[in-house]
A and B are shown apart, each in its own frame.
Chain A
Amino acid sequence: MEYFIELLFSGLTRGSIYALIALGYTMVYGIIGLINFAHGEIYMIGAFTAYIIASVLSILGFPALSIIVLAGLAAAIWSSAYGYTIEKVAYKPLRHAPRLSPLISAIGMSIFLQNYVLLAQTSDFLAFPELISDFDFMEPIAHIVGTTDMIIIVTTIVVMLLLTLFIKMTRMGKAMRATSQDRTMAKLIGINVDRVISITFIIGSALAAIGGILIASHIGQINFYIGFIAGIKAFTAAVLGGIGSIPGAVLGGFVLGLTESFATGYVSSDYEDVFAFSLLVLILIFKPSGLLGKQEVQKV
């Protein structure tokens, strides 16, 4: 039983990371129908920014808590700036082009950003500082679930709730929903669609940056390539949960993380990806729009 609980938490931690990144994919897809392949790289840039800021602040002797907050803020802002710029440079000029063009542009952006960080920083693995120190009250269960695991899971759930509230309750959220339903109509009733799209990219990027910091301080290392696999898995999670749906992205992340974790625990980690992707295929066969996706009405 203890083993089951351990695997459960391991899967939830993993799933939370996928979910945080998947939120960005799903939001962008929901609004403009684009799969933003550069999103994994935004996550990586967030981790790098936090690494640099945290290193500088710890040299200056800031207390631990302020380092987390400041590094987190800096990473979120910096990543958002990247997300915003990428949209303006790589996607906006292609808004009326066929759907394949922005997709190719996104893949190009992803490769560009990887190599840019490789050249600007290093190809080596860097030791990411342990920003989150272990809580004393967690010590009796530290062998089952660590402090960082707990923080990652809680953060993801809080972020999902806030985001859902934001989209349901605020004016901007309403504008986003309108844009996602029909962009031309939204424009006609006076919504600044470009601004909505920019904000979507900014929020998605900030979430990816938070994911970047959490996972980097969990595994203690970063390099320019970490965004690739995380991005692919998060994209899978978004599709699994129903791309375009926010609770769907989180659910998809958890399902994927738990599948991988239990596959490793009860079968073999050699088959971790086999199980994860078989599940994806199965779900898409029986529910093509994903777990919580809306059935798209074919327009005639």
Chain B
Amino acid sequence: MNTFMKKTVIATLFSLSMSMVGLSQADTLKLGVAGPHSGDLASYGIPTKSAAELVVKQINAKGGVNGKQVELVIEDDVCKPEVATNTATKMVSEGVKIVLGHICSGATKAALPIYKDANVIVISPSATNPGLTQSGDYPNFYRTIASDDAQAAKEVDFALNTLGLKKIAVIHDKGDYGKGLAEFAKKFLEEAKNGEVVLYEGVTPGAVDYSAVVQKIKRSGAEAVIFGGYHPEASKIITQMRKKRMKTIFISDDGVKDKTFIKVAGKYAEGVYATGPQDNSKNPLSKEAIDAHKAAHKKDPGAFYENAYSAALAILNAVEQAGSTDYDAVSKALHEHATATPVGDIKFDERGDATGVGFAMYQVKDGKFVEANK
């Protein structure tokens, strides 16, 4: 073989390999997946990784997005804000334009400014901190899970607009969860034009008797009680209300939507409303997603799996609709084009929260929680 031949071959190979690189760059769409994949919170992040892998496998088998294969860029942030900033920088430097993650609210919040500067769109399956979308600081952020205040919003909306009530007593159990919810409920009631808070009180959990606070609810003239807390206090309060022959409507949260509540409050539980995560089991896509996980991993999926599956579908569909990963085009597509996902047909409101995702209202009927459709 002469030198010329050698040179030609090398040159050809070189150019080929170059063009291969060029091809692969042009032909894959990088989807970043960030979350805890090791450490004590790994169980929150790994289901999202599996969801991304399964969605991508399925989409690639059908020819990819806009003719490009989807490639995953997986990074571990161990749920720590200080690590998440590094993760985000790495994603940006790898040329990732869309990220599925992060998982924890704190890590997400730390990473978002970096993504925002690089025009990267972030969609989280699990970060529930209300401020992430409501502050307006992160127009590049979307999520497929309801924020922490969504339950309170649902309760207030249901009381005022579905049941048409005006006077609401807000009661809580002084705990982080219950008081947090009650504060949101109070805020939403005050913001709403058609309702008022007639009583706002905390009760001591474990007290032997709640009849004084029950009398106070009666005197306040409340048409409904919105209770933030768990079922033991809820069942005591509802029992004492009914024993005092009060017909006041009782609305509570997913801390009360528990079968123990019905067991303990018995006949007094009838008619009580409680919010709970919406039921996706009738959605064929949800079943499909779970079956795919069972087939691949031989076990039931973990936390936020369906939300992550939906987020991956939604963001990839938006890129498909937009025709590229151009920031403005993808944002527009996320807001305008609904995607059929396991958590329902979702698109995103102007703040970045998925519409239709969240909590449903249930009511106790004949000793069971059934979806309230009044």
A interface residue numbers (CB < 8 A to B): 3, 6-7, 9-11, 13-14, 17-18, 124-127, 142-144, 146, 148-149, 215, 218-221, 223, 225-226, 228-230, 233, 260-262, 264-265, 268-270, 272-273
> Are the CB atoms of A264 and B213 closer together than 8 Å?
yes
The answer to whether A142 and B244 touch (CB under 8 A), given A268-B201, A269-B203, is: yes
Q: Answer whether residue B187 sits at the interface, using C-beta atoms and an 8 A cutoff.
A: no
In the bound complex, residues from chain A placing their C-beta under 8 Å from that of B265 are 127, 220
> Are the CB atoms of A215 and B211 closer together than 8 Å?
no
In the bound complex, residues from chain B placing their C-beta under 8 Å from that of A9 are 211
- Which range contains the number of B residues in contact with the other chain? 20 to 34
The answer to whether A6 and B207 touch (CB under 8 A), given A143-B244, A219-B239, A220-B239, is: no
Given A143-B246, A221-B235, A264-B201: 14 more A-B contacts, CB < 8 Å: A14-B211, A17-B208, A17-B209, A18-B208, A124-B260, A125-B260, A127-B265, A146-B243, A220-B266, A229-B204, A229-B207, A229-B208, A262-B212, A268-B201
**Contact among A10, A17, A18, A268 for B215, CB-based, below 8 A:** A10
Q: How far apart sit A263 and B31, CA to CA, in the bound complex (Å)?
A: 59
Q: Answer whether residue B219 sits at the interface, using C-beta atoms and an 8 A cutoff.
A: yes
- Measured CB to CB, the closest approach of chain A to B136, in angstroms, equals 33
Q: Which A residue's beta carbon lies closest to that of B209?
A: A14
Contact code string B247-275 (vs A, CB < 8 Å = 1, else 0): 00000000000001001111010000000
Q: Which A residue's beta carbon lies closest to that of B205?
A: A229
Chain B contact residues: over half helix, strand or loop, or mixed? helix
Q: How far apart sit A196 and B202, CA to CA, in the bound complex (Å)?
A: 45
Q: How far apart sit A269 and B209, CA to CA, in the bound complex (Å)?
A: 12
> Are the CB atoms of B209 and A225 closer together than 8 Å?
no
What are 15 sample pairs from A and B whose C-beta atoms fall under 8 A apart?
Answer: A6-B215, A14-B209, A125-B231, A127-B263, A127-B265, A143-B244, A148-B243, A149-B211, A215-B208, A219-B240, A221-B236, A229-B208, A264-B216, A268-B201, A269-B212
Q: Answer whether residue B113 sits at the interface, using C-beta atoms and an 8 A cutoff.
A: no
Q: Which B residue's beta carbon lies closest to that of A3?
A: B219
> Are the CB atoms of B212 and A143 closer together than 8 Å?
no
The answer to whether A269 and B245 touch (CB under 8 A), given A17-B208, A125-B231, A125-B260, is: no
Q: Which one of A125, A143, A146, A228 has the greatest number of beta carbons of chain B within 10 Å?
A: A125
> Are the CB atoms of A220 and B235 closer together than 8 Å?
yes
> Are the CB atoms of A269 and B206 closer together than 8 Å?
no
Q: Which A residue's beta carbon lies closest to that of B240?
A: A219
Contact code string B21-61 (vs A, CB < 8 Å = 1, else 0): 00000000000000000000000000000000000000000
> Are the CB atoms of B204 and A272 closer together than 8 Å?
yes
- Measured CB to CB, the closest approach of chain A to B353, in angstroms, equals 32
In the bound complex, residues from chain B placing their C-beta under 8 Å from that of A260 are 212
Q: How far apart sit A229 and B207, CA to CA, in the bound complex (Å)?
A: 7
> Are the CB atoms of B236 and A219 closer together than 8 Å?
yes
Q: Answer whether residue B174 sits at the interface, using C-beta atoms and an 8 A cutoff.
A: yes
> Are the CB atoms of A143 and B245 closer together than 8 Å?
yes
**Contact among A13, A124, A142 for B209, CB-based, below 8 A:** A13
Q: Answer whether residue B106 sits at the interface, using C-beta atoms and an 8 A cutoff.
A: no
In the bound complex, residues from chain A placing their C-beta under 8 Å from that of B174 are 270
5 nearest A-B residue pairs (beta carbon): A264-B212, A10-B211, A261-B212, A6-B215, A229-B206
Q: How far apart sit A260 and B263, CA to CA, in the bound complex (Å)?
A: 29
> Are the CB atoms of A10 and B209 closer together than 8 Å?
yes
Q: Which A residue's beta carbon lies closest to that of B171?
A: A269
> Are the CB atoms of A265 and B215 closer together than 8 Å?
yes
Q: Which one of A6, A144, A226, A260 has the greatest number of beta carbons of chain B within 10 Å?
A: A6
B interface residue numbers (CB < 8 A to A): 174, 201-204, 206-209, 211-216, 218-219, 231-232, 235-236, 239-240, 243-246, 260, 263-266, 268
Q: How far apart sit A229 and B233, CA to CA, in the bound complex (Å)?
A: 14
In the bound complex, residues from chain A placing their C-beta under 8 Å from that of B246 are 143
**Contact among B208, B212, B231, B260 for A219, CB-based, below 8 A:** B208
> Are the CB atoms of B244 and A219 closer together than 8 Å?
no
> Are the CB atoms of A10 and B208 closer together than 8 Å?
no
- Measured CB to CB, the closest approach of chain B to A39, in angstroms, equals 15
**Contact among A3, A13, A125 for B264, CB-based, below 8 A:** A125
> Are the CB atoms of A269 and B239 closer together than 8 Å?
no
Q: How far apart sit A273 and B240, CA to CA, in the bound complex (Å)?
A: 20
The answer to whether A269 and B211 touch (CB under 8 A), given A127-B264, A143-B244, A219-B236, is: no
Q: Which B residue's beta carbon lies closest to that of A228?
A: B206
In the bound complex, residues from chain B placing their C-beta under 8 Å from that of A142 are 243-245
Q: Which one of B203, B212, B244 has the greatest number of beta carbons of chain A within 10 Å?
A: B212
In the bound complex, residues from chain B placing their C-beta under 8 Å from that of A220 are 235-236, 239, 264-266, 268
- Measured CB to CB, the closest approach of chain B to A256, in angstroms, equals 11
> Are the CB atoms of A270 and B202 closer together than 8 Å?
yes
> Are the CB atoms of B266 and A10 closer together than 8 Å?
no
- Measured CB to CB, the closest approach of chain B to A213, in angstroms, equals 13
Q: How far apart sit A126 and B235, CA to CA, in the bound complex (Å)?
A: 11
- Measured CB to CB, the closest approach of chain A to B33, in angstroms, equals 38
> Are the CB atoms of B216 and A221 closer together than 8 Å?
no
In the bound complex, residues from chain A placing their C-beta under 8 Å from that of B235 are 125, 220-221
- Measured CB to CB, the closest approach of chain B to A145, in angstroms, equals 9
- Measured CB to CB, the closest approach of chain A to B182, in angstroms, equals 12
**Contact among B212, B232, B244, B245 for A221, CB-based, below 8 A:** B232
Q: How far apart sit A127 and B263, CA to CA, in the bound complex (Å)?
A: 6
- Measured CB to CB, the closest approach of chain B to A24, in angstroms, equals 15
Q: How far apart sit A262 and B212, CA to CA, in the bound complex (Å)?
A: 8
Q: How far apart sit A11 and B210, CA to CA, in the bound complex (Å)?
A: 10
In the bound complex, residues from chain B placing their C-beta under 8 Å from that of A143 are 218, 244-246
Q: How far apart sit A43 and B146, CA to CA, in the bound complex (Å)?
A: 43
